[in-house]
Amino acid sequence: MKNIKETAAGNADAIASDWLVQFNAALAANDRKRVQSLFCVDSHWRDLLALTWKFGTVSGAEALSEALLAAANQLQAHSFEIDTRRLPARQVQRAGEAVVEAIVRFKTAVGEGSGLVRIKGSPDADDVPQAWTLLTTLQSIADHDEETVRLSREESPYERDWHGPNWLDRRREALRYEDRDPTVLIVGGGHAGLSAAASLKALGVETLIVDRMARIGDNWRLRYHALKLHNMTPSNHLPYLPFPSTWPNYIPKDKIANWLEFYAESLEIDFWTSTTFEGATYDSASGRWNASLRLKDGSTREMRPAHVVLATSVSGTPNIPTIPTLERFSGKVVHSSQFSNGAEWKGKNVIIFGTGTSAHDIAQDLHGNGANVTMVQRSPTEVVNVEPSAQLYDGIFYEDGPTIADRDLISASMPLAVLKQSHTLLTAKARAHDAPLHERLKRVGFRLDLDETGWPLKFRQFGGGYYFNVGGSDLIANRNVGLVQYDDIESFGADGLMLKDGRDVAADLVILATGYKGLDHVVGAMFGENVAQRVGPVWGFDDATQELRNMWLRTAQPGLWLTGGAFSQCRIFSKYLAMQIKASELGLLPPSQSDD
């Protein structure tokens, strides 16, 4: 294969443009063999709504060309070209491969699309270089794009009735929803719910968030005292309103909480605090939900939204495992979600079940406040130093230079197989950085999970199973925090643990840092087991589509949507979630996947 390094120097734009000319011609000729010849044997096409109205990846040039050509014909995709408004075509390294990478734009019968192509090389020096990956995304629906919606809301430059209602009066009146129901009801007002609401509002879809907390941001504000985000600020912006450039690299929890409150006000997001979603049933005849809300004054409000978006985070209901003989313990037992401050446990003995992020952070907080802490490890945990190792993965997308929109498109353009290849290389680098810490942990008996693809894919599949070391691992390695393996426990007694080797571990408090039940459990609790079974598993990768299951897209239950995950995931995918709901309201989409 002709090496792209030999052809790309100063010529990335020409290589990408030539490839796009050939690609357009192959589509226009409806020539599958010609399309196939433009892709490497191990190529991947990822589509986010643009050509299929779904999220999905097709791998292999033969399968890819057939699926891509059929979808392009159905949606009348055409006019693929380099998008000169965005990051110029360039030569980069992706997953250990030298490629030309170019952001493209195109048109379909629905609207406008954006995408990204990575070109590797060609089998013969005289052939057109072949694409390794192609991303196609829907960016706007014709006549319903964000700018058109914004202009439709534009008011007169001055008030004609000086004594009539002004902007604030109208805002307060609308927020009460006294004479109408929202089109979309979002359950949960953290960064996931706010990102979805902002994207829906930008498309003119009336949306109300309800959250049981008393104040916007309390889902962060009320967490343990020392908490900070463990990935860096550039990857954590929210849609439409990035954090100030003066902000620190690692954002404290209260700063995040206050920003969420500011964000909701600035973007005029409708939000009811101290409001509990008590469940909903779907009326197939009307295509609307019958939703019950418990308001802050104790009264009940019934609403009939067309769509419900569940945004209660990837980690929903606390997971309380059955721990034999724990009932014998006479001290206090709490889940990590109920822990807020270690100061009250100064001089006390605390046992923490778990060795994930929350367990380490709580252990560090308690130790810093003078408590005697012992952690119980139930399964191996991946440990990654917060710098530089944990940041290596985001660093490949969120380097300085490109705009947030361009970085997000680059991030979304990585199909699962290529992402695994990239993360395997990055994880090897991270392990080399972290080897001294890992050796110290092994010496005290800590069991390490050494999955070759690293922590980001653990998060996408399991929602946890790792820890970014910000000092907690050092406390364990230095024996400042005790460590007990779960299998070494004989039983609980009134005053703590008895181990099989005869030792006792005293405790005044036991903290269960044992994670949360998944979103599929939350769906069942809120909508009933029939709906949960219809929707199926949530999170983790679907083998057929190579995408996360049931996240940000139509589920098998009409009108039910799920969002969650990291700030970056919510920012990227809230746009696509909003466009699907908008398309559904415009009659462009059936209400569920099963109706396709």
d(CA 596, CA 145): 24
- Does any domain span residue 585? yes
587 shares its domain with 457? no
- Does any domain span residue 147? no
Q: How many domains does the chain have?
A: 3
d(CA 46, CA 136): 6
pLDDT for the residue numbered 161 = 77
474 shares its domain with 495? yes
**Strands of 509-512's sheet in order across:** 332-335, 509-512, 349-353, 372-377, 482-485
Q: Are 562 and 548 in contact (CB under 8 A)?
A: no
Query: Which residues does 245 contact at the CB level (< 8 Å), separation at least 6?
Result: none
- Does any domain span residue 537? yes
| CATH label of the domain that carries residue 251 | 3.50.50.60
Q: Which residue has the higher pLDDT, 502 or 462?
A: 502
* Of 383, 362, 328, 382, residue with least CA distance to 512: 362
Rounded mean pLDDT, 507-535:
92
Q: Tell me, what DSSP letter sits at residue 238?
A: B
Q: Please indicate, yes or no, whether the overall pTM of this predicted structure exceeds 0.95.
A: no
Write the DSSP string, 135-201: EEEEEEETT-SHHHHHHHTPPPSS-SSTTS--HHHHHHHHHH-SS---SEEEE--SHHHHHHHHHHH
418 shares its domain with 536? no
456 shares its domain with 430? yes
Rounded mean pLDDT, 221-237:
86
191 pLDDT tier (thresholds 50, 70, 90): very high
Q: Which residue has the higher pLDDT, 235 or 197?
A: 197
467 shares its domain with 441? yes
Contacts of range 535-542, beta carbons closer than 8 Å, 24 or more positions apart:
535/560, 538/562, 539/314, 539/460, 539/461, 539/463, 540/460, 540/461, 540/462, 541/416, 541/460, 541/461
Of 11-25, 122-136, 212-226, 354-368, minimum mean pLDDT range: 122-136
Of 512, 539, 558, the domain-final residue: 512
pLDDT for the residue numbered 10 = 61
Q: Is residue 8 over pLDDT 70? A: no
492 shares its domain with 404? yes
242 shares its domain with 173? yes
467 shares its domain with 337? yes
pLDDT for the residue numbered 428 = 94
Q: Which two tokens stand for residue 234?
A: 């550039």
d(CA 251, CA 233): 7
**Strands of 207-210's sheet in order across:** 270-272, 207-210, 184-187, 307-310, 560-562
d(CA 111, CA 326): 59
Rounded mean pLDDT, 512-535:
90
Domain that holds residue 89: 4-141
Which of 100-114, 330-344, 383-397, 454-468 is the most confident on average?
A: 100-114
pLDDT for the residue numbered 315 = 52
Of 492, 512, 532, the domain-final residue: 512
pLDDT for the residue numbered 334 = 94
Percentage of the chain modeled with pLDDT above 70? 96
Q: Is residue 159 over pLDDT 80? A: no
- Does any domain span residue 158? no
1 pLDDT tier (thresholds 50, 70, 90): very low
pLDDT for the residue numbered 458 = 86
What angle is formed at CA 502 by the lines to CA 499 and CA 507, rounded to 5 degrees?
A: 50
- Does any domain span residue 161? no
504 shares its domain with 533? no
d(CA 423, CA 429): 10
Rounded mean pLDDT, 432-450:
96
Q: What rounded mean pLDDT belongs to the chain?
A: 92
354 shares its domain with 487? yes
Percentage of the chain modeled with pLDDT above 90? 79
pLDDT for the residue numbered 594 = 66
403 shares its domain with 302? no
pLDDT for the residue numbered 130 = 96
- Does any domain span residue 154? no
Q: Is residue 123 over pLDDT 60? A: no
Rounded mean pLDDT, 414-420:
95
253 shares its domain with 344? no
d(CA 192, CA 312): 8
- Does any domain span residue 507? yes
- Does any domain span residue 21? yes
Q: Is residue 402 over pLDDT 80? A: yes
Strands 184-187 and 207-210: parallel
Partners of 97 in beta bridges: 94
| CATH label of the domain that carries residue 57 | 3.10.450.50
Q: Is residue 124 over pLDDT 70? A: no
